[in-house]
Amino acid sequence: MMSYTLPSSPAVDGVMVDRRAASFTTRSIKKESKLAALELAVSMIDLTTLEGADSPEKVRSLCRKAVRPWERDEEFLGRRLGSVAAVCVYPSMVPYASELLEGTGINVASVATGFPSGQYPLDIRLRDVERAVADGATEIDMVINRGAFLSGKYEIVAEEIAAVVQACGKAHLKVILETGELKTYDNVRRASDIAIEQIREEDFIKTSTGKVAPAATMPVTLVMLEAIRDAYRTSGKKIGMKPAGGIRTGKQAWHYLCMVNETLGEGWLSPDWFRFGASSLLNDVLRSMQKLQSGEYAAGHDFSDA
């Protein structure tokens, strides 16, 4: 077992976190800025399918949507809309996604490491990662062992994250905290600090698997953004952030972008540093863009499902 010293995490003032997170929902944004924010949000989305009924055909459909999110973009925008950031699938589906997305610049992400429980033996989780990377995954979304964390066995959590970093090779890592099971903001901050200490620059911390409620919330995301900010200020290490689950509307997306901008700065307003894990978000963002351009919302069925 590695020699491990627990990072010194500050206590979180929950009242202030709730109040500040709520303040981002009241920001007034001009029409031109809204359109730019929505287009940026599209570029930050990780389109995801993580169901037991997933099939190669479903993954191929998701990949086509990732490459061309809006079939009527030129009609309403006068130009082609860019692609999403990544397609996220189970390890068994990585070869299909990798084949379709080759040369597109879209990342292939895979939820290896015993997703969503994180309770598999470590050697199995590491083999899961290595296989996904060998099959073409450029990003790995791992989930921490919440049982170990909540039992105070922080050195085990840190050791496992470090081992997954090694197994990833050149692939980027996103560490899922599953904040809905951590219960308190102090736990979220402590888990964030442990993860940030073990991962590399340009890796991410992520709120949720999407399988546990509550998933991403603005206060929890703010706590994690502040951990990233503090690490950058003290060490210069720059870490990405991914809220996942529960973000469904274009309006919510630009609230999150306001929070990122005011907490971390414009340097994080890029898919290299911020992602949305929310497949259902994409079509509402597109509907919001059409509303801004035409004055009318399109029906949900006017946009293809991934």
From 141, 193, 203, 284, the catalytic residue:
141
d(CA 93, CA 88): 9
Given the residues 46, 203, 206, 284, select the one marked as catalytic.
206
Let me know if 237 is a catalytic residue.
Answer: no
Question: How far lies 299's CA from each of 120, 290, 296, in Å?
Answer: 43, 11, 9
Cα(198)–Cα(141) distance, rounded to whole angstroms?
Answer: 15
**Cα torsion at 232, 169, 56, 123 (round to 10°)?**
-100
Looking at 174-294, list the stretches that DSSP marks H as alpha helix, in order from N- to C-terminal side.
179-182, 185-198, 218-235, 250-264, 279-294
Rounded to an integer, what distance in angstroms lies between the CA atom of residue 127 and that of residue 54?
21
Beta strands in 69-196 (DSSP E): 86-89, 107-110, 139-143, 172-176
Contacts 24+ apart (CB under 8 A), 8-12: 9/186, 9/189, 9/190, 9/193, 9/227, 10/189, 10/230, 11/186, 12/184, 12/185, 12/186, 12/188, 12/189, 12/223
Give the neighbor-by-neighbor strand order of the sheet with 172-176.
46-48, 86-89, 107-110, 139-143, 172-176, 204-206, 240-242
Would you give the DSSP letter of residue 299? P
Is 141 considered catalytic here? yes
Alpha carbon distance 253, 42 (integer Å): 10
**Per-residue DSSP letter, 298:** P
Identify whether 206 is a catalytic site residue: yes
Q: Six-digit token pair at 220?
A: 């929890």
Question: Where in 107-163 does DSSP place strands (E)?
Answer: 107-110, 139-143
Q: Which of 65, 203, 242, 284 is catalytic?
A: 242
Q: Is 241 helix (H, G, I), strand (E, B) or coil?
A: strand
Q: Which residues are catalytic?
A: 141, 206, 242
